[in-house]
Structure 1
Amino acid sequence: MKTVTKIGGQLVFPTQKHKLRVAAYCRVSTDSEEQLVSLATQRKHYEAYITANPDWEFAGIYYDEGITGTKKEKRPALLRLIDDCEHKKIDFIVTKSISRFARNTTDCLELVRKLLELTVYIYFEKENLNTGSMESELMLSILSGLAENESVSIAKNSTWSIQSRFQNGTFKLAYAPYGYDVIEGKLVLQPEQATIVKAMFDQTLAGIGTDAIAKELNAKKIPAKRGTHWTATTVRGILKNENYTGDAIFQKTYTDSHFNRHHNHGEKDKYRVEHHHEAIITKDMFEATQQVIRQRGKEKGALPQDKKYQNRYPFSGVIRCHQCGATFKRRIQGGRNSYVAWCCATHLTDATKCSLKYIKETALKYAFVTMMNKLIFGHAFVLKPLLASLRTLHSDDSITVIQDLDTKLAENAEHQKTLAYLLTKKYLEPAMYQKGNNELLQEAEQWLHQKDSLVDFLNDDNKTVHETRELLQYTCKAKMLTGFDEAVFQQFVEQILVYSRTNIGFKLKCGITLRERLV
């Protein structure tokens, strides 16, 4: 009988004349003092561990602090490590454990395979596992799967703990909205900011738009929450935040099983805690403001409870000046041969701020009839292709972009933390910190605006399809209009944009804007 003896294989590295260039990767999941001490200990350990081997050359230590391990995209040091491997700067990597390297099985296997293609191997100390001597990925797959399950378990326990605090009202906010400070986990009024918040609600109920409010705040050089300039989006965010009524709503967002964060549109329970903190405005004022926002374009100065001005005329609150953004007001022009006209509110107040003069109401009605007759005649060439494209447009791409923006915002926040840390350690001059931090804040604000726009698009997506279908069904059956039809106008037109006294645009509820010349 033949005797077979197994000869243990040795780890074979690429033939090379120079020493093996070895780098270490370490990570801690929070930025607490204890974890930072642990990180410092790991760095000292690996530097001594690598330099003690005469066949190794120290290639550096890559570390992420205060960053989750569930997503590789959220760890800049790890990505920099992979990039250096691609540029042939590293031959071998040492790390504490699979859970420190990646708590996501897919990411772990993807990174290991990528490094194997580059003939760069990883040694996991805790598991005593070396990817250079593995005959298969089975063991790594099992171990990384366990690491991922551990991460999921931790996340579930954390979620359960948070939800329990939601239910009993003991959850402490970590971030204060504009107008408040967080002191020992409680929201405390910031008097100067609270006055500004109250003024925003007052101005909105007085008919002033969010863009105008933002411009006024910027003109007065009043900084926003993070020291940046105001935009209509940030103002609108304040106006829609129920925290200012003294109540708090928890779990507005949630994290799914793949560690992606989403806005909560009813997928999870929400928790309202009444009288959670001191209010800046009353609940009645908040509700009135929401109605004004929903019914934008109403007459300046009209309150939601005041029906005197609502829909008084077909064009009330609908005509918008493209030059300054103000609403047009109805006026009676002329003497004996008087006629109805609409004029920009800004021009009426100060002609030097807006040069756009009045437009006759009869010209607006004639333009609407012309526009609708064009749609009735050419609906097959305009509306059918639009409806078809909307029906085939999936929101998956938008959701992916939102997730990417969330990733960028998280990375941006980490960069802000890094800058603050360097400043406190006096590694960075205050002027350099201010410059870098302002750039990060502006970048974050831009991404937040993009994200808000995409979320609004997803929420309005079904509505747009419905409105387009309604318009198509009407134009397929309708006869040519012979005069202005108020019911048809209110059914399909959202806004009239006035570009000049001879050129306007009808913004339809289905999302398209059609231009017409005034006669």
Structure 2
Amino acid sequence: MANALVVRKGTNLARRLRTQRAAQYVRMSRELQRYSIENQRAAIAAYAATNGLTVVRTYEDQGRSGLRIKGRPGLIELIEDVQSGQADFDQILVYDVSRWGRFQDTDESAYYEFLCKMNGVRVVYCAEIFKNDGSFLSGMAKYMKRGMAAEWSRELGVKVHTGHCRIASLGYRVGAPVGYGLRRMMVDEGEHPKGQLERGQYKALQSDRVRLRHGSAEEAAVIRCIFDQFVNARQSYSEIRRALNDANIANHNGRPWTDGMIPTILGNENYIGKTVYNRTSRRLGERLVKNPAHAWVHGAAAIEPIVDPDIFARAQKLLAERRVEIRKTRC
């Protein structure tokens, strides 16, 4: 009987084995290289080896923002596994507090960690100098780190927005996509064309810029026709839309036109050679808001005009009158 397995009363073998097993959660958005997935894995592996842990699960969010849990399938799956009781580990190894998330409400970050704790799974921040042991000092350190992570995102958002406004004021295109009859051309620092950007494509180098370019001559003719029908023929949005679709002219998405697309064309300053940025904004994933006219950023001489400025000005006056009529009708 010398080799017999002796189990002491009250010993939970499954629990004993589980305490040597851990999962790792890694996340990277578009931040500094030191936060790369590979670097996080290396730091977590070193921590696991030092503490006698075996990493048995990996939950990963590659190229995902840490502002919220939405859009982070890795973290969502992790929380679901923990809450369902399917987790075969009792520790989650994370590089640091910011990789868990840069939640703008620090209570949200604490909430997801609390869900794990309530289900017997502890979150460990491997690169932090404090131990996540539930002590007063640990709680204070986490609170400060969560606030710093959130503030980093807020400061970065302000800096990025300021940079975008400056670039837009120089006549470059900021954002995507563009309207009907327009194209995005990537240029280098010397304004030399590097290629046309298709839908879903973005420039790779920070020093590159995006200029607007005309589409086909046929598209330019359609744009002028829309303005002519609206300003001179005084046709309604529905009449213009119907004429375009009857002529089998597709919109910029290759689909039939709708009434709502017509005023969008008529109000687009790109067609008189200008760019306009910051009409709307969405800060840190909040709701999209319309900005007042004084906050708009105009870039002149960004592209050769397609429509005569006088025709465009007359169209804006008619658009304003149409909006007033619509409001009266609704009232």
Say if 2:94 and 2:123, in contact at 8 Å, map to a contact too: yes
Instruction: Tell me the equivalent position of 1:113.
Output: 114
Would you say how many aligned residue pairs link Structure 1 and Structure 2? Answer: 286
**RMSD of aligned residue pairs (Cα, Å):** 3.7
Alignment of 1:112-151 (within 5 A): 112-129=113-130, 131=132, 133-136=133-136, 137-151=139-153
Letter in 2 for 1:119: G
Counterparts of 1:204 and 1:227 in 2: how far apart (Å)?
Answer: 22
Say if 1:64 and 1:76, in contact at 8 Å, map to a contact too: no
Say if 2:168 and 2:174, in contact at 8 Å, map to a contact too: no
Letter in 2 for 1:150: W
Secondary structure of 1:127's aligned partner: coil
Say if 2:275 and 2:300, in contact at 8 Å, map to a contact too: yes
Deviations 1:463-486 (A, max 9, x none): 9xxxxxxxxxxxxxxxxxxxxxxx
Q: 1:98 to 1:268 in 2, by over 3 A?
A: farther
Instruction: Tell me the equivalent position of 1:511.
Output: 330
Q: 1:287 to 1:142 in 2, by over 3 A?
A: same
- For 1:190, which of 215, 229, 232 is the aligned residue? 215
Q: 1:25 to 1:219 in 2, by over 3 A?
A: farther
Say if 1:121 and 1:130, in contact at 8 Å, map to a contact too: no
2:270 paired with 1:243: yes
Counterparts of 1:116 and 1:85 in 2: how far apart (Å)?
Answer: 9
Instruction: Tell me the equivalent position of 1:78.
Output: 75
Counterparts of 1:295 and 1:170 in 2: how far apart (Å)?
Answer: 30
After TM superposition, give the deviation of residue 128 of structure 1 in Å. Answer: 4.4
Letter in 1 for 2:213: V
Counterparts of 1:220 and 1:58 in 2: how far apart (Å)?
Answer: 61
After TM superposition, give the deviation of residue 220 of structure 1 in Å. Answer: 4.9
Secondary structure of 1:509's aligned partner: helix
Instruction: Tell me the equivalent position of 1:28.
Output: 28
Larger Rg: 1
State the identity as a percent.
21
Say if 1:103 and 1:151, in contact at 8 Å, map to a contact too: yes
Deviations 1:161-213 (A, max 9, x none): 2333345x164434232211111211010114333322222232323332343
After TM superposition, give the deviation of residue 229 of structure 1 in Å. Answer: 4.1
Using CA pairs below 8 Å that are at least 6 residues apart, which structure has the higher relative contact order? Answer: 2
Alignment of 1:259-338 (within 5 A): 260=286, 262-266=288-292, 269-296=295-322
After TM superposition, give the deviation of residue 145 of structure 1 in Å. Answer: 0.9
Secondary structure of 1:73's aligned partner: coil
Letter in 2 for 1:147: A
Q: Which runs of 5+ in 2 are unaligned?
A: 1-11, 187-209
Deviations 1:218-252 (A, max 9, x none): 45554433444432223322222112111112221
After TM superposition, give the deviation of residue 134 of structure 1 in Å. Answer: 1.7
Q: Which runs of 5+ in 1 are unaligned?
A: 1-12, 297-459, 464-493, 496-507, 513-519
After TM superposition, give the deviation of residue 18 of structure 1 in Å. Answer: 5.0
Q: 1:38 to 1:127 in 2, by over 3 A?
A: closer
Letter in 1 for 2:302: H
